[in-house]
Chain A
Amino acid sequence: NAGVMQNPRHLVRRRGQEARLRCSPMKGHSHVYWYRQLPEEGLKFMVYLQKENIIDESGMPKERFSAEFPKEGPSILRIQQVVRGDSAAYFCASSPQEDLNTEAFFGQGTRLTVV
């Protein structure tokens, strides 16, 4: 099992461009969480998805940010018209469907830098 895979590991975007971050959960996991980590800060919840469904997006900014987890393929976190304040590490975590209240396995993260 390759674990939670995120790509790219590092992403540089100019202000106004779009950023697409990908997350492939562990095999057999159908629940995906996205977190944002700013320097010297903790992990801030953004969105929780199951296959083809957004379960909770209460932590995601209303504008410019969107997420999806299609039936086939990875989960995508999309940031449109990026600004400097979007620079952060974005972590994806997954957990199995059978036991929701259990360990969330994290990917290596995508470090987004907006220049």
Chain B
Amino acid sequence: GENVEQHPSTLSVQEGDSAVIKCTYSDSASNYFPWYKQELGKRPQLIIDIRSNVGEKKDQRIAVTLNKTAKHFSLHITETQPEDSAVYFCAASWTGGSYIPTFGRGTSLIVHP
């Protein structure tokens, strides 16, 4: 099955700085990579996703890059704000089996005002 590693586990930044979270995956058949944001006590919600036929995708202050050769993908948040503070999960969905999203362990992002 798929294995997703995510780093760092905790990331602390000042408001206005950029934040980068990195993930690697093991199964080259994976072709869908979503990122979820989970605020304290709430459900995980999709913030951006990327498919394997695209190298980069951007949505306002959030961008995701994908390197299929190296099997890693990253989330970039620019001009961070306190409301960006949350746990962020990356995931990979592989076509070799049942399309089950496999999640990383999460990154706790803290944005200090």
Contact = CB atoms under 8 A, between A and B. Distances in A.
B42 A41 contact: no
Interface stretch (B12-20, B58-66, B77-85, B102-110): B102-110
Interface residues of B, number: 26
Interface string A71-115: 000000000000000000001010000001111111111000000
A48 B42 CA distance: 22
A69 interface: no
B93 interface: yes
B89 to A, nearest CB: 6
Interface of B: 1, 6, 31-32, 34, 36, 42-46, 49, 51, 89, 93, 95, 97-106
Contacts of B95: 101
Given A42-B106, A43-B44, A91-B44, A101 B99 contact: yes
A12 interface: no
Contacts of B98: 48, 55-56
Interface of A: 33, 35, 41-45, 48, 55-56, 58, 91, 93, 100-109
29 contacts: A33-B101, A35-B103, A41-B105, A42-B6, A42-B103, A42-B104, A43-B103, A45-B100, A45-B101, A48-B98, A56-B97, A56-B100, A91-B44, A93-B101, A100-B99, A101-B31, A101-B32, A101-B51, A101-B93, A101-B95, A102-B32, A103-B46, A103-B49, A104-B101, A105-B46, A106-B36, A106-B43, A107-B43, A108-B42
A60 B15 CA distance: 41
Contacts of A105: 46
